Amino acid sequence: MTKQTEGVDALLELRRANFRRVTTLFGGPTRIAGLLGFKSGSYISQLASGHRPLTDKRSRAIEEKLNLDRGWLDKEHGGTPVFGELDPNNSWARIPGEAKLAAEESTPPTSSKLMSDVVHAIGAVLEESKIIAAPAKFATLVDLAFENAQLRGGVDEAFIRKISTLLK
């Protein structure tokens, strides 16, 4: 294998990893397929798994449609988990492709249900409002809404609607 081939393979793997991060962030293959103009999540899953290549042209189109900086998929982002990814430092986290942890370690903390509810509520509000949030802005919305939900003891959809208007 030549150095050029190795470089291309490394770039495609980095793109795939970043695309999986974005797919998770935006609510999964089906939701991101809709945002990108596809009928189903099948093509998205193929891109994320490597069964289809993330070409330069496709990568730039994805970045443009999702309001990501040009070249975002081609850059290393420090290994810091983007919101929505499982944190490998948590004993309950399971990273795709790795073996499942033992049953006694696989129980998520009680706040994970609340976090899940917050993410789903934000996703629904943004989709209903036809707002596409950049990953950093989405993470900020989740952070604010989760903090509010912890204080109130549950998801406050009115609060989520208010803060999501800041993205219009």
Residue with the two structure tokens 């150095």: 3
The angle formed by the CA atoms of residues 89, 147 and 88, to the nearest 5 degrees, is 10
What distance in Å separates the CA atoms of residue 64 and residue 74, rounded to the nearest whole number? 14
The angle formed by the CA atoms of residues 53, 87 and 85, to the nearest 5 degrees, is 40
- pLDDT score recorded for residue 5: 59
What is the distance, to the nearest Å, from the Cα of residue 112 to the centroid of all Cα atoms in its chain? 16
Residues of the chain with pLDDT under 70: 1-7, 78-111
- pLDDT score recorded for residue 132: 87
Token pair of 133, please?
């949030």
pLDDT digits (tens, 9 = 90+) for 112-148: 778 888 888 888 888 888 888 888 888 888 888 888 8
- pLDDT score recorded for residue 100: 38
What distance in Å separates the CA atoms of residue 131 and residue 66, rounded to the nearest whole number? 10
Count CB atoms within 10 A of the CB of residue 30.
Answer: 15
What distance in Å separates the CA atoms of residue 93 and residue 38, rounded to the nearest whole number? 30
What distance in Å separates the CA atoms of residue 112 and residue 17, rounded to the nearest whole number? 24
Count CB atoms within 10 A of the CB of residue 73.
Answer: 24
- pLDDT score recorded for residue 152: 81
- pLDDT score recorded for residue 15: 92
pTM of the model as a whole: 0.49
- pLDDT score recorded for residue 112: 72
